[in-house]
């Protein structure tokens, strides 16, 4: 077997270091992604939690182009992307009008 035993106190730290190396390597291969991964507006372009990594962008196309690159880079680090579980989710701020209960006035939400 490779690496530490599952459940070992060291395995989580080693996995985190391995994932950080793979993400850093991905940023080096894709020059369009800033390093550190912070947008011009100060928002993070990557979120990592446990064994998940989320990539953010204002448009879907750069993320679709990033997926095969990540797959290749991560395999070199013995990390594998499950494309069946990979999701593209679009978050946005919608401009709506909402009625309040107090006076039924319309309040625009930004």
Query: Measured between alpha carbons, how far is 7 from 47 in angstroms, rounded to an integer?
Result: 24
> Which pLDDT score, from 0 to 100, does residue 94 have?
66
CB 98 within 8 A of CB 107: yes
> Which pLDDT score, from 0 to 100, does residue 96 have?
65
> Which pLDDT score, from 0 to 100, does residue 32 have?
82
> Which pLDDT score, from 0 to 100, does residue 2 have?
63
Which class for 30: exposed (0-12), middle (13-18), buried (19 or more C-beta within 10 A)? middle
Peptide bond into 9 cis (omega under 30): no
At residue 94, the 3 state secondary structure works out as coil
Query: Measured between alpha carbons, how far is 75 from 52 in angstroms, rounded to an integer?
Result: 15
Structure tokens given for 16: 């985190």
pLDDT tens for the chain, 110 residues long, are 565 566 777 888 888 899 999 999 999 998 888 888 888 888 888 888 878 888 888 888 888 999 999 999 999 999 999 888 888 887 766 666 655 555 555 555 54
> Which pLDDT score, from 0 to 100, does residue 78 have?
92
């Amino acid at each position: 077997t490779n690496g530490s035993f599952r459940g070992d106190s060291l395995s989580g730290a080693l996995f985190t270091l391995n994932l950080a190396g793979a993400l850093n390597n991905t940023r080096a291969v894709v020059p369009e992604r800033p390093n550190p991964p912070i947008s011009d507006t100060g928002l993070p372009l990557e979120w990592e939690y446990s064994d998940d990594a989320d990539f953010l962008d204002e448009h879907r196309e750069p993320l679709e182009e990033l997926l095969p690159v990540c797959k290749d880079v991560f395999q070199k680090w013995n990390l594998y992307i499950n494309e069946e579980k990979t999701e593209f989710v679009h978050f946005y701020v919608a401009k709506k009008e909402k009625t309040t209960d107090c006076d039924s006035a319309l309040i625009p939400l930004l």
